Amino acid sequence: MNQDIVRFDMKKPPRKCRWFLKPIAWLIAFSGTLKHKTKIEKIGMKGIKPPYLLLGNHNAFFDMSVSAKATFPHVGNYVVAIDGFIGREGLLRGIGCICKRKFTSDLRLVRHLQTVVKNKGIAAIYPEARYSLCGTTAPLPESLGGLCKLLGVPVVTLICHGHHVNHPFWNTRHERGVKPTEATMKLLLSADEVKKRSADEINELLVKEFQYDDFKWQLEKKIKVDCPDRAVGLEKILYRCPHCDKEFSMKSEGTTIKCTVCGKFWNMTEYGQLEAVDGETEFSHIPNWYEWEREKVKEEVESGTYSSGLLPVTVESLPNAEKFISLGEGTMIHDENGFTVTVTSPDGEVYTMKKPVPSLYSCHIEYEYLFQHGDCVDLNTLDDTWYVYPHDCAFSVTKMAIATEELYYQYRRSIGKPCKAGLA
């Protein structure tokens, strides 16, 4: 790659939202929440003003609209992934956003967050670091409790419900018009309580607070989704057939998902449940199917048989917020050694990125990213992001994401430091 390429300036300190941009943030917040008739419950928030640390669950872009309304009239400094800055770096910096490359340990981010609270702002983070794949909790970083201690300000949580049902990560082509959506904004810890509690105690509280299940919420609230293609994309997360146990065999259409090997069909009801067209319904609750797949991956990891195989891939780089740069064609393998990607550029240069198991407690994936190349894994260093697209082979980036977590858990057990429930 051309070494003269300008890298995104991650050192530039965050600023408070420019006064003339605040109306834009508020317009987006209030128009979106009005459309979805969002109900925001506030617990213990009376009299709470910045600075504080805001931690939210992450299911869709709409999360930020709800957060903006919940924090009104203040505007938070949000941590945003590098691809969120593409083509709008000036705007995002202007409203106070802080850039982060996913699943990297970056001390600069910590310093930026310290700057935010020093300036009496709201440090807003989505600690799951990616959209939830099936509307349930993703692992929280074990460092989160320590960050709370370091910042020394009140810790506020914002847990939203309905955003995954409305705009599932496995099919982001259109929203489903879900309303009302709900959110709970809660003062979890005062500044004094943060000082008194240990990082482990804070982590335990956060894990408990971040338990959510959007499909369970939908069923309990009797939220009806009657769009005719509500099951399209489900095979992205439900890639393994529970009837014949074949992988990468699932296909969706309209309101159904089926296995192309054994031919079994399931219908997705208007309330987000699955029903077998014929025979037993192995999993009526979508997250249960997903967790069954996790158990299968865990078995492979523990037996030492997990491997994606050597996959042909196309690789693009995102060194800054201007545009993607094609690196060329190559190969990727994900196994007990982690990720290894090797790519050869059109001019014959060979590039390699290795992400060993201890370096990733989870990874970021995309489905039909930008509706262009297809599903991908994005792997990050502190100054670059590679978007790696497998092609012309059987694969599931969902399985790779699950395996990344299970490989990390196994590694931690092997060194006598197992991850605690909900943490990584």
> For residue 370, what pLDDT is reported?
78
CA–CA gap between residue 2 and residue 380 (Å, rounded): 18
Same domain, residue pair 158 and 286: no
Same domain, residue pair 116 and 168: yes
> For residue 378, what pLDDT is reported?
95
Confirm whether 160 is domain-assigned. yes
Domain total of the chain: 3
Average of per-residue pLDDT values in the chain = 94
Between CA 272 and CA 277, with CA 264 as vertex, the angle to 5 degrees is 55
Instruction: Enter the pTM of the model.
Output: 0.94
**pLDDT 10s digits, 68-107:** 999 999 999 999 999 999 989 999 999 999 999 999 988 9
**pLDDT 10s digits, 154-201:** 999 999 999 999 999 999 988 999 999 999 999 999 999 999 999 999
User: Quick check: 375 and 360 in contact, CB under 8 A?
Assistant: no
Same domain, residue pair 299 and 319: no
**pLDDT 10s digits, 323-347:** 899 999 999 999 999 999 999 988 8
Same domain, residue pair 292 and 349: no
Confirm whether 7 is domain-assigned. no
Least confident residue range of 5-14, 127-136, 191-200, 252-261 = 5-14
Q: How confident is the model at residue 297 (pLDDT cuts 50, 70, 90)?
A: very high
Confirm whether 4 is domain-assigned. no
Between CA 16 and CA 195, with CA 41 as vertex, the angle to 5 degrees is 60
Residue where one domain finishes, among candidates 248, 271, 303? 303
As a whole number, mean pLDDT of residues 242-255 equals 97
Residue where one domain finishes, among candidates 194, 221, 248? 221
> For residue 26, what pLDDT is reported?
87
290/346: higher pLDDT? 290
Same domain, residue pair 128 and 205: yes
Q: Is the pLDDT of residue 3 over 70?
A: no
Q: Is the pLDDT of residue 221 over 90?
A: yes
Q: How confident is the model at residue 1 (pLDDT cuts 50, 70, 90)?
A: low
Q: Is the pLDDT of residue 372 over 90?
A: no
Quote the domain boundaries for residue 410: 311-414
